[in-house]
Chains A and B, each alone.
Chain A
Amino acid sequence: MPAETHALLSIDQHLALTQTLYREARLLDEERYADWLELLADDVHYRMPLTARRFRADRSAALAEGPGYVFDDDKGRLGLRVQRLESGLVWAEDPRNRVRRIVSNVEIYRAETDGEATVHSVIEVHRSRIDAQQRRLTAGRTDLWRLEGGSWRLVQRLIQFDHPVVIDSNLNVFF
């Protein structure tokens, strides 16, 4: 992620980017994956690291080799995930699960490069699955968005997942 500034965008750009975040959430809720992919820059890097609960005083950096991640995707891999979801053969999503994404605590700052913005947000993903099953997943996000042809596109997303144990039997969802 680029170094953080606290310079604000113009109010028009700020508004447009905020609206883009909400629109992105709705596109995903509505399973409009092709439209969602359009919001992503061609060089997008979308990742969610794996973490372990460690003591604050613990200085033993890496006990195992490399920390790993839940998502570490470029546009091609995100496309693979979408192809799977749109194959009509993912039985766990049929009938469809109802999903609502709530995006909040949005902070938007100018990035170091002109036409780019750093965006902090919190996302809450509510999944309503079979029978009475409800799942609520939360994460913090740090994004880099870029103005391309008058529209904001997602270039980087670092997702800090709040659950040391994933409390659902699948993560067929984007954050």
Chain B
Amino acid sequence: MTDYAGLVSAAGAMQRRQMYADPAVYEQELERIFGRCWLFLVHESQIPQPGDFFRTFMGEDDVLVVRQKDRSIKAFLNTCTHRGNRLCRADRGNAKAFACNYHGWAFGADGALVNVPLEKDAYFSEIDKSRFGLVEVEQVASYKGLVFGCFDRGAPSLADYLGDMKWYLDVWLDALPGGSVLLGEAQKVEIPTNWKLPVENVCGDGYHLGWAHAGAMKAVQSMDFSGFTVGNASVDLEGGLSIAGLNGHSLLATLDGVSGYSFYPDNGDIMRWLEANRPTVIERLGRVRGEKFWGSQLNFTIFPNLQFLPGLNWFRVYHPKGPGRIEQWTWAMAEQAMPEAIKQRILDNQLLTFGPAGLFDNDDGDNLAACTEQSRGWRTRQMDVYTNMAQGHSGRRPGLPGDIAVGVVSEHNQRYFYRRWQEHMAAADWRAVPQYNLNSLHAAEGLAHAG
């Protein structure tokens, strides 16, 4: 049997390239990562009314998420239980029922089979419709607006799965009353890359910014990239942190409370709004999060395939489509309490910089594709790649959960991402997957003192 977990060694610092291209590895990932972890489905703000639905994927499984009459949310496999046809062909919308194109079986918003054509004449009224409802995703749960689904009944609760990452997540999800919102339509791009590579690119790779995005940085001189220089000649990372050791989730953070919006030209209105609201945020979240984190550039990663960046304000999920292909779905994100004019500015800036034709986004695709392609050759797939930068330079920070490295150029977060991947690939079930929220209690106590 292939030792899939052995494709990562030295605590995440080295990966065998085979893991980016091997169909057998991918099959194991569909089962042990996408079949097991909590996966992002939809933001509650995207399906506000009963009957609102949103079509998405959990791994390669087509899933329909539907707001119920009682306002709860259910998710179903998007497949007719009769002959397996795709049930819903729309991306989103509002519907009272879903009728299959093939033979007309119709299902209610609650998944129940409500109509079978020729039920009396052809089935002799002998079909037990209660047996043929849509297959429900085993667990669906929300955390402050983000709805997740999980195929595994044995998984920990969503709250436990997120663990101490929730303390950081609240910086965006709970800073102000009303929480968060996603703006605009899904921006969908197909990239010929293994799904792990874009995740690692965002979870910890501050290293590529000055080089990969040099062309965009040169054009957009007005954008202050927090110390990064065109061409990566030098970097000033004073005040940035790489935070991991939280069940595979991670965060890159500057700690100045404003740099998230320094990329916006003429950002006076946003800065005034931030400062006007900061006292409320401090009251809700304490001084550390209210002053240091809120308004900073933050890169969030929720294992395995959800990432979002308050500041640059994009929110993204990667759907795997085979070992060497993904669909990358992106939205702009904002806080509900923001004035419409600022929300519009956020949508505008997000699309200019990280949309399908984004000045920065367009530098990443070919790099991710080529790292995948160069893992396919018979000889190259036997090679290793490295995430060993600044290994051993991390530890505790009073008042903050996690294992933390200084700076946002370190490969610290990638190591924890691959370590988590390895733990899932090796484990037969959730009981064998270690849970760790490093420095958890210290964080809570530290916060009380700091606040």
Seen from chain A, the residues whose Cβ lies within 8 Å of a Cβ on chain B are 48, 50-55, 58-60, 63-72, 77, 80-81, 83-85, 87-92, 130, 164-172
Q: Determine if B348 and A80 form an interchain contact, defined as CB atoms under 8 angstroms apart.
A: no
**Which of the 9-residue segments B84-92, B107-115, B153-161, B169-177 touches chain A?**
B84-92
Docked Cα-Cα span, A91 to B344, in Å, equals 31
Residues on A with C-beta less than 8 A from B47 are 63
Chain A residue, CB-CB nearest to B213: A89
Q: Determine if B190 and A58 form an interchain contact, defined as CB atoms under 8 angstroms apart.
A: no
15 A-B pairs in the complex with CB atoms less than 8 angstroms apart: A52-B90, A53-B90, A58-B90, A58-B95, A60-B52, A68-B185, A88-B215, A91-B363, A92-B363, A92-B366, A164-B91, A166-B356, A169-B189, A170-B362, A170-B365
The listed residue (A51, A68, A169) touching B183 by CB distance below 8 A is A68
Residues on B with C-beta less than 8 A from A87 are 214-215, 218-219
Docked Cα-Cα span, A170 to B213, in Å, equals 13
Chain A residue, CB-CB nearest to B93: A58
The listed residue (B93, B214, B357, B367) touching A70 by CB distance below 8 A is B357
Q: Determine if B183 and A171 form an interchain contact, defined as CB atoms under 8 angstroms apart.
A: no
Check if B450 is an interface residue, CB within 8 A of chain A: no
7 new A-B contacts, CB < 8 A, other than A53-B90, A60-B52, A91-B366, are A50-B187, A58-B90, A63-B93, A68-B183, A71-B357, A84-B216, A170-B366
The listed residue (B91, B191, B212, B344) touching A66 by CB distance below 8 A is B344
Residues on B with C-beta less than 8 A from A164 are 91, 188
Nearest-Cβ distance from residue A165 to partner chain B, whole angstroms: 4
Q: Determine if B94 and A68 form an interchain contact, defined as CB atoms under 8 angstroms apart.
A: no
Docked Cα-Cα span, A59 to B90, in Å, equals 13
Q: Determine if A165 and B332 form an interchain contact, defined as CB atoms under 8 angstroms apart.
A: no
Q: Determine if A80 and B220 form an interchain contact, defined as CB atoms under 8 angstroms apart.
A: yes
Docked Cα-Cα span, A170 to B368, in Å, equals 11
Chain A residue, CB-CB nearest to B365: A169
Seen from chain B, the residues whose Cβ lies within 8 Å of a Cβ on chain A are 45-49, 52, 54, 89-95, 181-193, 212, 214-216, 218-220, 230-231, 327, 331-332, 343-344, 347-348, 351-352, 355-357, 359, 361-363, 365-369
With A53-B90, A58-B95 known to touch, is A89 a contact of B184 (CB < 8 Å)? no
Nearest-Cβ distance from residue A7 to partner chain B, whole angstroms: 35
The listed residue (A72, A81, A167, A168) touching B359 by CB distance below 8 A is A81
The listed residue (B46, B218, B362, B368) touching A172 by CB distance below 8 A is B362
Chain B at the A interface: SS class: mixed
Residues on B with C-beta less than 8 A from A88 are 215
Which of A58, A92, A167 is most buried by chain B, counting CB atoms within 10 A of its CB?
A: A92
Q: Determine if A63 and B357 form an interchain contact, defined as CB atoms under 8 angstroms apart.
A: no
With A87-B215, A172-B362 known to touch, is A50 a contact of B189 (CB < 8 Å)? no
Which of B93, B185, B220 is most buried by chain A, counting CB atoms within 10 A of its CB?
A: B185
Closest 9 CB pairs of A and B: A169-B365, A68-B184, A60-B94, A89-B215, A170-B362, A84-B219, A90-B215, A83-B219, A89-B214
The listed residue (A51, A65, A171) touching B362 by CB distance below 8 A is A171
Q: Determine if A84 and B327 form an interchain contact, defined as CB atoms under 8 angstroms apart.
A: no
Residues on B with C-beta less than 8 A from A70 are 187, 351, 355-357
Docked Cα-Cα span, A68 to B91, in Å, equals 15
Docked Cα-Cα span, A66 to B89, in Å, equals 22
Q: Determine if A72 and B357 form an interchain contact, defined as CB atoms under 8 angstroms apart.
A: no
Q: Determine if B356 and A84 form an interchain contact, defined as CB atoms under 8 angstroms apart.
A: no
Q: Determine if B219 and A80 form an interchain contact, defined as CB atoms under 8 angstroms apart.
A: yes
Q: Determine if A85 and B215 form an interchain contact, defined as CB atoms under 8 angstroms apart.
A: yes
Q: Determine if B184 and A66 form an interchain contact, defined as CB atoms under 8 angstroms apart.
A: yes
The listed residue (A53, A55, A58, A77) touching B352 by CB distance below 8 A is A77
Docked Cα-Cα span, A143 to B366, in Å, equals 32
Nearest-Cβ distance from residue B421 to partner chain A, whole angstroms: 23
The listed residue (B92, B219, B343) touching A52 by CB distance below 8 A is B92
Q: Determine if A170 and B361 form an interchain contact, defined as CB atoms under 8 angstroms apart.
A: yes
The listed residue (A53, A55, A63, A85) touching B48 by CB distance below 8 A is A63
